[in-house]
A and B are shown apart, each in its own frame.
Chain A
Amino acid sequence: MSTAVLTINKGLSGGLNLRQKTILLISFMSLLLLTIVICSLFINERSLSTDFDSKNLAPSLKHPFGTDWMGRDMFIRTIEGLGLSIMIGAFASLISTLISVILGLFSSVGKIADSFVSWLVDLFLSIPHLLLIILISIGFGGGATGVIIGVALTHWPSLTRVVRAEIKQLKTQEYVHISRNFGKSRWWIATKHILPHLIPKFILGTILMFPHAILHEASITFLGFGLSPHEPAIGIILSESMKYLSAGYWWLAFFPGLSLLIVILAFDMIGENLGKLMNPKKAHD
């Protein structure tokens, strides 16, 4: 008897199938983000130099995002700001993921450990997130370090919650009980049975944490905490732009913010589509 899976190929007439579209979208978005980061690394002092002859110019071909009151090109400033934001986001997400891995695994040790983790999650979620970041960044003496630590230390609770619930649910599965009845050790069960279910959750969790971390970093910077006014962060660019709003220099606020939005959107798209690839049951609409 022949065993085969019918794979439907819509061919050229039907265009790309969902799988190809998804992979294409993920690749495109990743490439976009990577380009921004690399470009931001290669921008040197000269290209950001002040030029008082060309200050406060509206967007043009030469300066697609316009220039600011010191004649700096807003496009270059934005790219550099975005690069900084993505890197801070990456750092914060990694730290937060690490914390949730540790706490998630710790919660599976026993009842007391589990209630401790759950209590810690509740504690961190009980203060408004933005306020908590402000508090922590002040505690670490403010400045760039304060903000980065503040953002990194506050994004783990939701992922930890997901991981904890998943571990709890997995531990009640019949196949885990059976494994225990086969005399397998806790460690063996944790690595062979539980971990394979958790890894996709961690990967997805980290990627979906990015946009939150970036947004929070930008918000805190916008409010005036952390990064010094000389850093080309998006938050700083936007808070500076507030002074020039009534003067009608709309491009100072519009383009940098829009670029940030696109970056966030790119991360959300990557996360969502990666989720589809991992869990195809949700891919029907």
Chain B
Amino acid sequence: MEDIDRITTKKARNNEALLKVKDISLSFIQYTSGLRQTELKVISNLNLEAYSGEILAVVGSSGSGKSLLAHAILGILPSNARLYGSMEYNGQPLTQEKKEEIRGKEIALIPQSTNYLDPLMRISNQVIGNVNEKNKESIKKLQRYVFQKYNLKPEVDRMFPHELSGGMIRRVLVSTAVISSARLVIADEPTPGLDEKNLKETLSYFKDMANKGCAVILITHDIDAALKISDRIAIFYAGTILEEANIEDFANDGENLRHPYTRALWNALPQNKFKAIKGHQPMQDEIIEGCFFYERCSIKNELCSKGIPELKTINGGLVRCNNVS
């Protein structure tokens, strides 16, 4: 596996997690045709921990509800969403009120596309955000400085979002997080549509943030990109996280991976065996009693069809499986 400066980033983790997501579930009340009301479960029993100075990648297929995890942490879910479970930030319970108080200051989101910029507002005004007149000058200077660093020319300040190229948009979005000086950065699919050069560059921004002591959550469907820069990878499957593995566990054939799904995913990559297992991810409206991977699992037993497996810590990583030790 090609490796970039992994050694420099590996730090001893003696501190507490900055963000703890404990057993959250998320569902939507929605109307289908003819106004039948249904509840759709998108996330269930999901656990997650993010540490300062580390990049945690959440990897899962597109459209599986990963973005909603980010929105749940920030407290910006739509009104028809129901969120269960609890979160902790810096040792304190992270309630909706707390989220509203600290988002933009302590927690920053890096969204995925141009749609997340106000189409009628000039770039610098958006990046600076809603600040009072007193601080405006200094933040303006900071913004210019960050833009300079990301190679965004002064004329970009006065442009509208649609006048920027995809790569420039990406840099603008990243710079919003840098300016906010947040301690927790959540990047939602920051890589699709980027060519190799831009991809490397974008990934290096996240590396920088982590090196400065931020906790970075990188939500992506690109396991390749995740492997390049993250410290840990959480595998998102059917609305939950089946395993949180350290990057080293992916070495060789992935023998050290804990969950059979993670191993199957690893084996399916084109650079590895390019071998698939049978079956499909369960659909969102399917009700599953046991382990979400039960149908496709090769090491299942009777217990697995009854109730969701307990979360276990094995070999420095987390896993939801009855049959590993």
Contact = CB atoms under 8 A, between A and B. Distances in A.
Q: Do A and B contact each other directly (Cβ–Cβ < 8 Å)?
A: yes
Interface of A: 1-8, 17-19, 22, 276-278, 280-281, 283-284
A204 B242 CA distance: 47
Contacts of A6: 38-39, 285, 287
Contacts of A281: 31
A130 to B, nearest CB: 36
A8 B34 contact: no
Interface residues of B, number: 20
10 contacts: A5-B38, A6-B38, A6-B285, A7-B38, A8-B37, A8-B38, A17-B37, A280-B32, A280-B33, A283-B31
A4 B34 CA distance: 17
Interface in B1-59: 29-39
B31 A18 contact: yes
B78 to A, nearest CB: 8
B34 A277 contact: yes
Given A1-B295, A280-B32, 19 more contacts: A1-B282, A1-B286, A1-B288, A6-B38, A6-B285, A8-B29, A8-B37, A8-B38, A18-B31, A19-B35, A276-B35, A277-B34, A280-B30, A280-B31, A280-B33, A281-B31, A283-B31, A284-B31, A284-B80
B79 A284 contact: yes
The CB with the most chain B CB atoms within 10 A, among A1, A2, A19, is that of A1
B59 to A, nearest CB: 24
B286 A2 contact: yes
Interface string B77-112: 001100000000000000000000000000000000
Interface of B: 29-39, 79-80, 282-283, 285-288, 295
B101 to A, nearest CB: 27
The CB with the most chain A CB atoms within 10 A, among B30, B32, B33, B35, is that of B35
A152 B278 CA distance: 62
A283 B35 contact: yes
Given A1-B295, A284-B80, A7 B285 contact: no
A18 B35 contact: yes
A277 B35 contact: yes
Nearest to B283: A3
A277 B31 CA distance: 9
Contacts of B32: 5, 280
Nearest to A1: B286
A280 B38 contact: no
A3 B285 contact: yes
A4 B287 contact: yes
A128 B40 CA distance: 49
Contact of B39 (A1, A8, A17, A19): A8
A22 B286 contact: no
A22 B290 CA distance: 38
Contact of B287 (A2, A277, A278, A283): A2
Contacts of A283: 31, 35
Contacts of A18: 31, 35, 37
A3 B280 CA distance: 14
A63 B282 CA distance: 67
Nearest to B79: A284
Closest 9 CB pairs of A and B: A280-B31, A19-B35, A283-B31, A6-B39, A8-B37, A5-B38, A5-B285, A280-B35, A3-B286
A19 B295 contact: no
